[in-house]
Amino acid sequence: MKAFIVDRYGKKEKLHLREIAEPVIKENDVLVQVYSASVNLLDSKIKNGEFKLILPYKTPFVLGHDVAGVITKIGAKVSHFKVGDEVYARPADHRIGTFAGLIAMNEADVALKPKRLTMEEAASIPLVALTAWQALVEKADLKKGQKVFIQAGSGGVGTIAIQLAKYLGATVATTTSTANVEWVKALGADIVIDYKKEDFETILHDYDVVLNSQDAKTLEKSLRVLKPGGKLISISGPPDPAFTEEMRLGWPLKMVMGLLSFGTRKKAKRQHVDYSFLFMRAEGYQLSKITALIDSGIINPVIDKIFPFEKTEEALTYVESGRAKGKVVIKVI
């Protein structure tokens, strides 16, 4: 089968289209023919080597974290799916590789594709929707009537997180550029701050939750918009000790990661708020709950561009530019 390969780590390195062997499935695996995949900033960070310490993929490896397709084969112990099922997923870490013709995944990471979505639309959902779910539902336990600040409302995570937060009954504030203000309001945001003209710290006060996806300076300012007892959940770092436990990192890495977030955790404590880092995980059960919201019309995909499979490298470059509104998708079939 054809696949886009990372031959070596590095910002200047490009993906290479190669012919490789088809995946071999384990007893709890499903083999999925890839119809569409989507591109995430995580793909770029992994290719560049930014996560090499915690996710040490041995080169060469196939890149890609989102997939929609059809099951062509199942392992001996698979019980929830059958050949011919249309599914979508974010494969587990160390089993990524959706920029290819086929991918093998544990059935626990897979969900049936939403009926009302095309393959391209479905492929845009898993990673960003699971990130939003794990941040707002699992970590924040966001409730009706609470206030949440979701940064970068026009980004992949932001577009889904706004819709999910509104479904949960929260008041939603977000940031975006001038050109996207009305567009983000249409997604459901109640307060939209044009970051080119306004400083969110002077506008937002006494928030229950912040979903941080930006730099260290923005994170520090975000701590100050929370009320005592509020929660700041960051998907852009720095990692906290709980993350090192989840990843089962060795003692030296635990020390390093702890030091990286020490200043942030200290400032959060001083503000009487809670800081946590989220590195989303594959989770088919949660994805099935998201499927129900999609089929009910509560959450809708937001796609910026669709690239043909052979232009996967161009799609990755476009995502790296930071100009995408919503998701960038690769059409394999």
Q: Mind listing the pLDDT tens digit of every residue in the chain (333 residues)?
A: 999 999 999 999 999 999 999 999 999 999 999 999 999 999 999 999 999 988 999 999 999 999 999 999 999 999 999 999 999 999 999 999 999 999 999 999 999 999 999 999 999 999 999 999 999 999 999 999 999 999 999 999 999 999 999 999 999 999 999 999 999 999 999 999 999 999 999 999 999 999 999 999 999 999 999 999 999 999 998 999 899 888 888 888 888 888 989 999 999 999 999 999 999 999 999 999 999 999 999 999 999 999 999 999 999 999 999 989 999 999 999
- What's this model's pTM, rounded to 2 decimal places? 0.97
The helix (run of H) or strand (run of E) holding residue 11 is none
Residue 287 lies in a domain: no
- 233 forms bridges with which residues in the sheet? 211, 276
Residue 101 lies in a domain: yes
Same domain membership, residue 227 and residue 169: yes
Rounded to 5°, the CA angle 35-36-38 comes to: 165
Show the tokens assigned to 213. Answer: 């996806």
Same domain membership, residue 142 and residue 247: yes
- Domain range for residue 26? 2-124+302-331
Rounded to 5°, the CA angle 93-223-43 comes to: 25
Residue 108 lies in a domain: yes
Same domain membership, residue 137 and residue 264: yes
Same domain membership, residue 247 and residue 169: yes
Same domain membership, residue 166 and residue 119: no
Same domain membership, residue 143 and residue 257: yes
Same domain membership, residue 247 and residue 318: no
250: domain CATH number?
Answer: 3.40.50.720
Residue 43 lies in a domain: yes
Same domain membership, residue 264 and residue 137: yes
Same domain membership, residue 100 and residue 38: yes
Under 8 Å between Cβ of 306 and 332? no
Show the tokens assigned to 226. Answer: 């929370």
118: domain CATH number?
Answer: 3.90.180.10
Residue 95 lies in a domain: yes
Please provide the size of the chain in residues: 333
Residue 264 lies in a domain: yes
Count of domains for the chain: 2
Same domain membership, residue 258 and residue 189: yes
Provide the pLDDT for residue 254.
87
Shortest CA distance to 311 belongs to which of 302, 303, 319, 300? 319
Distances (CA, A) of 115 to 32, 159, 197, 204: 17, 21, 41, 39
Same domain membership, residue 236 and residue 142: yes
